[in-house]
Structure 1
Amino acid sequence: MTLIASDELTDGRHIELPPEAGDVNAPRFEPNDGWLRAAEPAAQKAAIWRWFATRYEEIETTTPSEATGDTLEPQGGTVALDATLRERFAEVVPAEVLDGLIQQAQSRAGNDWTPHRLDKAGS
């Protein structure tokens, strides 16, 4: 399984975030909440997903398995996608936007994710 592309979560549209959204080239994207509140729903989803994807990754693609097929506990533990997104964005975007994004992401990769560790270069 590969990381979910943002256009899979924005109705097939590729959304380029404007500079007002935040520094999209930062290793850990942090959206401007003022911009996010005023953005259209597809742009909100794209920005939220960029925030999440720069911090977390799918467990299945990053977690080694034992010879028996049992998945080992990911280094750094796991986080719940839904709780993490609600904690950060519930006060910023409408519930239906957040709920829709969560449902789409869960249907493709589940709810358990693991923290993405930056390398020494910060990427």
Structure 2
Amino acid sequence: MVMIATDELTDGMLVDLPPEAGDVTQPFFEPVDDWLRTAQPIQQKTAVWRWFATRYEELESSTPHDADGNYFFGTKEPPVQADEVLRQRFGTVVPDEVLGSLISTLQSKAGNLWAKVDPDKLSS
């Protein structure tokens, strides 16, 4: 699975999340919303990105497609729009300027269409 490096989305910094942020060792990271609401903006970006990156992957590199850019989904779910997914999950938890900044950077680096991660990839 190809993934954008965290420091590309957090202003060039690698940020460690504290234990109260949630269990970062789980395949699907789930941040603690109460912690997230009061975290520093850089920690918020890091936690939101980690949540997203454990569930979605770049469409271009993860989904077979032909030379014309037509994707073949087969049994794979159709792509999601990153901004919609992130705003739905974090829109009431993280300030809009933090979420908007992350979404903007994400879209410029890899676009807005993302594929759901196949859970089998996480166990291999």
TM over 0.5: yes
Q: Given residue 88 of structure 2, which amino acid in structure 1 is its aligned partner?
A: E
Deviations 1:18-77 (A, max 9, x none): 1100010111000000110111000000000000000000011111123x4433233211
Please, what TM-score do these two structures have when normalized by structure 1?
0.91
Match of 2:109 in 1: 108
Q: Given residue 89 of structure 1, which amino acid in structure 2 is its aligned partner?
A: F
Query: Structure 1: 5+ residue runs without aligned partners?
Result: none
Task: Name the CA distance, whole Å, in 2 between partners of 1:70 and 1:63.
Answer: 10
Q: Given residue 111 of structure 2, which amino acid in structure 1 is its aligned partner?
A: G
Please, what TM-score do these two structures have when normalized by structure 2?
0.91
Match of 1:61 in 2: 61
Match of 1:51 in 2: 51
Query: Structure 2: 5+ residue runs without aligned partners?
Result: none
Quote the RMSD (CA, aligned, Å).
1.6
Question: Equivalent pairs: percent with the same residue?
Answer: 54
Task: Name the CA distance, whole Å, in 2 between partners of 1:49 and 1:93.
Answer: 12
Q: Aligned with 1:49: secondary structure? A: helix
Deviations 1:59-118 (A, max 9, x none): 11111123x443323321110000000000010011000000000000000000010011
Structural mapping, 1:86-101, within 5 Å: 86-101=87-102
Alignment of 1:73 with 2:72, yes or no, is yes
Residues 71, 120 of structure 1: alpha-carbon distance in 2 compared, 3 angstrom cutoff:
closer
Q: Is the 8 A contact 2:65 2:72 kept in 1?
A: no
Q: Is the 8 A contact 1:17 1:43 kept in 2?
A: yes
Task: Name the CA distance, whole Å, in 2 between partners of 1:116 and 1:35.
Answer: 26
Q: Aligned with 2:57: secondary structure? A: strand
Task: Name the CA distance, whole Å, in 2 between partners of 1:120 and 1:53.
Answer: 13
Task: Name the CA distance, whole Å, in 1 between partners of 2:18 and 2:24.
Answer: 9
How many aligned positions are there?
A: 121
Task: Name the CA distance, whole Å, in 2 between partners of 1:71 and 1:47.
Answer: 32
Q: Aligned with 1:72: secondary structure? A: coil
